[in-house]
Amino acid sequence: MPKKHTFDYDLIVIGSGAAGSAAATITARAGKRVAIIEADVFGGDSPNHSDVPMKALLHAAQLYDEARNGVRFGLRSGTLGYSFPSLRAWKDQAIQRTGTSGNRKYYESQGIDTFLGRAYFLSPNEITVNRRRLSSAHFLIATGSHWAAPTIPGLADLSYLTPHTLLETIRPPKSLYIVGGGSVGIEVAQLMATFGTKVYVAETAGRILPEEEEETGQLMERLLHERKGVTCLTQTRTLAAYREGLQKRITYSRGGHEKILKVDDILIATGRTPNIDLGLDNAHVTHTPRGITTNDFLQTSTRHIYAAGDVLGRHSLVHNALLESRVVAHNILRKNKLRPDYTATPRLTFTFPGVASVGLTEDDCLKRDLRAQTAVAPLGIIARSNTSDFRDGFVKLIADHNNVLIGATVVAPHAAEIIHELTLAIKYGLTSAEIAETPHGFLSWSEAIRVAASKLVR
């Protein structure tokens, strides 16, 4: 009887971020031999370079902004200032507190072997890392993505910022031109404008936050302009970027007219490119420049090799990447294969007010020819707006012909926390009547959900 082939590991995970971490720990706890390989910083992009540091700074910016404008509440805070080095120190402390600094030790405490270096496939079952060959029965590719610049003449010859490199700047630029008005671009715009930067946001779509409801983009554009002095250049195409002295000269097209703008810095927030330079052809893994191709069970064309997270080429939110990682672990350990269920995945923008949405938008319903009904409850309709002196926001609900909730948007303080009631409702098919009949605490922002749901019932 021929001897069964043995490998160094049962699973090698390439990438220690959200898409890789859950699969590694779950599989190791099941008694399997697991290794995890990281090319950059253990913990991945989200806690080290994007979500955690950005949200830490946004929290500080919101406190600063609210305190500065506290005179209406009887607070004497008009002379409040800030120290940018101290803000950076706070950001670094927040990164440390997430546990990423001890992330490698954590994996090792779980019996997982760790390697710092770049992995490269030699064959479907073998990789090399730091000139060392490792073999495995299964692989999970969770290498994530990086910010990529669009093709703009002159840009490659300039030093430009990304949301990653912005977090390491010594001081805020006096003026900043942001290419991309999506969630991250708008977070950056509000952050920098709060600390005194003159910000321009160039977005090719007809509104900022183009993946959200039309009302959301319109409201956030107005608030950014009125409260922060941000100029949102919608339906704008950036044509060129060149150095002119100490500044950058931007040429852009809007409304059929070319215009020139001079700024201190340019930030690119238009999209990310999957990290797929790891010898995928040697492993016979089908891929394109847009990402790795998988089936519904997250298996690549080489069935024992899985992929999850940003490397799939979708804008994979961290909570989606964690979901996919857990699904991969299940599919490796068990015969009954699972598919990731994205039905009720919340989308979050950590501005103030926050933007949170789940399910379908009204545009989505129109594209799918779905018969749907909508209801909007302005924040000003509830008592909390009076005690907090904040009225610029709303809750919008979308229900199908059976009055089952299929989409929701919250623009309000603490929107990221409020949305989960609606996430639960969409996941489990609740009707607007069931939401309206649920008691909502008086003087909570969530009362706006009950009001919107009641409108749908009527």
Q: What would the pLDDT profile of 67-85 be if each residue is shown by its tens digit?
A: 998 999 999 887 889 999 9
Ordered by where they begin, the domains of the chain are 9-146+273-333 (3.50.50.60), 155-269 (3.50.50.60), 347-457 (3.30.390.30)
User: What integer pLDDT is reported at residue 314 of this predicted model?
Assistant: 84
* Mean pLDDT computed over 136-159: 95
What pLDDT sits at residue 406?
98
Statement: residue 4 has pLDDT above 60: no
pLDDT of residue 98: 86
Provide the mean pLDDT of the chain: 95
Residue 437 has what DSSP assignment? T
Place of tokens 């992929």: 307
Q: Going along 255-390, which residue ranges are E strands?
A: 257-263, 265-268, 272-274, 287-288, 291-292, 305-307, 347-349, 354-359, 373-378
* Cβ–Cβ under 8 Å, residues 405 and 422: yes
Average pLDDT over residues 327-335: 97
Contact assessment for residue 69 and residue 76, using Cβ atoms and an 8 Å cutoff: no
Considering the chain, what percentage of its residues have pLDDT values greater than 90? 91
One-letter amino acid at 260 equals I
Could you tell me whether strands 305-307 and 132-141 are parallel, antiparallel, or unpaired per DSSP bridges? Answer: parallel
pLDDT at 432 over 90: yes
8 Å CB contact between 12 and 113: no
Mean pLDDT of 93-116: 89
Q: Residues 23, 13: contact at Cβ < 8 Å?
A: yes
What b/e sequence results for 293-309 when a residue is b if at least 16 CB atoms lie within 10 Å of its CB, and e otherwise? ebeeebbbebeebbbbb
This prediction's pTM: 0.94
Task: Count, in order, helices (H) and strands (E) of the chain.
Answer: 14, 23
When mean pLDDT is compared across 71-75, 180-184, 414-418, the lowest value belongs to 71-75
pLDDT of 2 higher than 70: no
Q: Which two tokens stand for residue 450?
A: 């009950």
User: Given a cut of 50, is residue 3 above it in pLDDT?
Assistant: no
pLDDT at 274 over 90: yes
* Residue 424: Cβ-neighbour burial (10 angstroms; 0-12, 13-18, 19+): middle
Using the predicted structure, report yes or no on whether residue 1 has a pLDDT greater than 80: no
Mean pLDDT within 240-251: 96
Question: Cα separation of 86 and 390, whole Å?
Answer: 29
What tokens were used for 261?
A: 């703008």
